[in-house]
Structure 1
């Protein structure tokens, strides 16, 4: 019976036997490489190469995140903040000049509320904006 089948058979048993399954798989693993030193050395060298590659790749992505992604997100944040500030100033400027016919029409299906909100005066939603939202009549 191969070591894999032996391990699979023991793993199906109770939880206490799982420790034995791990020990058998370790024993079988070491038995493969104990007889052939060159094969064991090759395996260890491959594992070291994999570890080295993983460490260098992780370092590269850390640097990409730190030096590329973080500044780009910061620039985007500043740009969007400036645009929104200009937009709000534009809305405030035109809000005082607008005639009632220039405003967006109020349709009967908009802002239907069966009961008041439990915060504030009950009229304002959680994301209320006095410039964009119309008060209920």
Structure 2
């Protein structure tokens, strides 16, 4: 490698003392980096401060949107779907015993194929089996 490349690489990479790196963790001490060119350093630090301020205000805005908009909407949707599902379940329970077997959908040969028994229950019903909605005629 050429010596000019090594000198350029040395200028770009800032040097940190072990004490500063241990104290700040992964954070850089920008004041130490830009001691050479104070005007550039001040410009960079002002830019970093503006970025930090913008990030803080944006995070605050999204926190408020989540808290005051999304949470009430999710709550309203939850209540509405709960009411609809309880109505549907009561309808299914009411008509479960009234339907004759002819009205049930036919059991096709590719449904409920069991090559190996499940290790729970009687071995024939899936984990999400519901006796009210699933029909298994053998």
TM range (shorter): 0.7 to 0.9
Q: Hey, what's the Cα distance between the residues in 2 that align with 1:54 and 1:73?
A: 26
What's the CA shift for 1:62? 1.1
Gaps of 5+ in 1: 8-22
Alpha-carbon distance between aligned partners in 1 of 2:66 and 2:134, rounded to the nearest angstrom: 39
Do residues 38 (structure 1) and 26 (structure 2) align? no
Cα shift at 1:35 = 4.5
Counterpart residue number, 1:123: 124
CA contact 1:33–1:40 (8 Å) conserved in 2: yes
TM-score by length of 2: 0.73
CA RMSD of aligned residues (A): 2.8
How many positions carry a matched residue from both structures? 121
Residue of structure 1 in register with 2:78 after alignment = 77
Q: Please give the TM-score of this superposition, normalised by the length of structure 1.
A: 0.74
Deviating above 6 A after TM superposition, structure 1's stretches of 4 or more consecutive aligned residues are: 29-32
What is the SS of the residue equivalent to 2:49? helix
Partner of 1:51: 52
For 2:91 and 2:56, the matched residues in 1 are separated by 51
